[in-house]
Amino acid sequence: MRRLFLLRHAKSSWDDPSLADHDRPLAPRGRRASALIQEYLRRNRVEPALVLCSSARRTRETLEGVRPALGAAEVRFERELYGASCGDLLQRLRVVPDEVASVMLVGHQPAIQELAVHLAASGPELERLMGKFPTAALATLTFAGVWSELGLGGAELVAYVKPKQLKGSA
């Protein structure tokens, strides 16, 4: 079974309107949410083999916040993931080498939610995920087969967590 972790970047700051969108940092709330997700990842032993992260500052800072829980994952920062569509993200995943068993993708709305909904054939959390995919939310999907064949309804949504629901458990 392959595992795919879809992590939306944490809450970004709008304090400096002169910054380009790509260069916006995390807000204090985003740093706190990243810490909650890091603890969730650690408790659940989520250690992807490969992390694909948008080059935007807020995604890089989100990854930095969860990185201590990710073990020895190979990390790739990719400019193409910034502003990518659902189809672009899927195409990127389809070229992941077959020997990679698990991938974490750190990206942006709306593509990250659209990808999760597109891939998930089932799962108890699917309706909740379809409703909202807030900042720092994490969807975990599993599927059999190879990355190049990943497609519509080809995965099962096995977990969906939001920082808000983790506040009391950290």
Kindly tell me if the per-residue pLDDT of 148 is higher than 50: yes
Kindly tell me if the per-residue pLDDT of 1 is higher than 60: yes
List of residues 6+ apart from 138 with CB closer than 8 A: 5, 6, 7, 8, 37, 40, 41, 159, 160, 161
pLDDT on residue 170: 43
Domain 2-169, what fold?
Answer: Rossmann fold (3.40.50)
Kindly tell me if the per-residue pLDDT of 59 is higher than 50: yes
Look over the chain and give the mean of its residue pLDDT values, rounded to a whole number.
95
pLDDT digits (tens, 9 = 90+) for 62-106: 999 999 999 999 999 999 999 999 999 999 999 999 999 999 999
| Domain chopping of the chain, boundaries | 2-169
pTM of the model: 0.95
Which class for 40: exposed (0-12), middle (13-18), buried (19 or more C-beta within 10 A)?
buried
Cis-peptide, bond into residue 110, ω within 30° of zero:
yes
Write the CA distances from 147 to 2, 130, 150, 164, integer angstroms: 8, 23, 5, 31
**Separation between Cα atoms, residue 28 and residue 7, nearest integer Å:** 18
